[in-house]
Amino acid sequence: MWQSFKSEIQKTIEKRVPTKMTQGRHTHPWMNTAIRRKINQKQKAHKKARKTKKKRDQDRYKRLRQEVQWEIRQANKKYMEEILVLLNVLWLTTFTTAYIRPIIGVVAQKSSGGHGDTGIPADYIKWIESAGGGVVPIRDKESEEYYEQMFTYTNGVLLPGGGVNLFTSGYANASRYFYEMALKACTHYLKHMYIIDNAYDKGDYYPVWGTCLGFQELSALTAGVLVTTNASVWDKSLPLNLTEDYKESRMFGNLPDDVKTYLMKDNVTPNFHAYGVTSETYNSNSRLKKFFKVLSTNVASNGKEFLSTVEARKNKHKFPSVEMEAKH
């Protein structure tokens, strides 16, 4: 839209710049002392050339006329360019500010469909857009420079659900880059322990959200090993079993009572997963326990309790993660 608007302004500039000899007037906003002086010289030369009819005087008049024309064109063009700059600022402060919104990257993964090698489920995009965010796809199998650039261009990243390898896939590669860059944005890494930096307290963080496969990916990246086991719940909605930690969490801490009741009593969280992180695995892995706190659990079809919502501890990072499919 802006390029079209800028093109129209440029056309206006071209129309306003005189192509023929223009008599300058004091009312013209682009008039300056140098142009007035040059016009006076031209007028005197014109009178002298008409009186003497000498070629030398006529040539001087023609030269001054051309100089005046050139000066007027340049002054007019500069004036219109200044208007364009002001319009640019006006557009930025009205349109851009009015529509400013967070840009969230969504990691793509290998697709078996006929619409390209990779893809992103549309419901994740609509979910973000419904909350006022903008979406940009994060391609897999790209260079480190590409991911660094996309990290600076976005305000957060979403790791969607799917079915690819948690360590060797392009999805895993892209997720790892964003996981590590997000940690570096607010923490120092020292002796395999993440130590809080004052950047976090200042609000300088890069949120990472993982749903389903994204939950499993974040768990694997944090633990350093595969921690998912059979915790199948397929095509079934369940209420959340909230833990005590939910009360102090950023995700659920300010839940209204009616919403909390809705989440705890009704079958509102859809599940479509074959694997998950069980409570037993979580309690036996020190890295998971140090990094994540559990906000809710559920029970799989085989009777095992699995983590359905986790969140990075306050001194780690803002990594909300849900095993169940986000309700779009």
Active site members: 212
Q: Would you state the structure tokens that stand for residue 101, as one six-digit string?
A: 């919104």
Task: Say which DSSP state 326 is in.
Answer: P
Beta-carbon contacts of 326 under 8 Å, excluding residues fewer than 6 positions away, are 124, 127, 211
Q: Would you state the structure tokens that stand for residue 162, as one six-digit string?
A: 């799917």
Strands 193-196 and 109-110: unpaired
Rounded CA separation 277/308 (Å): 8
In a 3-state reduction of DSSP, which class is residue 295? strand
| Cα of 64 vs its chain's centroid, Å | 55
Number of H helices, E strands in the chain: 12, 14
Could you tell me where the DSSP H helices lie in the chain?
Answer: 2-16, 33-52, 55-91, 97-98, 122-130, 144-153, 170-186, 198-201, 213-223, 257-265, 279-284, 286-291
Rounded CA separation 198/125 (Å): 33
Rounded CA separation 324/27 (Å): 70
Q: Would you state the structure tokens that stand for residue 53, as one six-digit string?
A: 């009819």
Max Cα distance, the chain (Å): 113
**Cβ-count burial 167-184 (b if 16+ within 10 Å, e if not):** eebbbbbbbbbbbebbbe
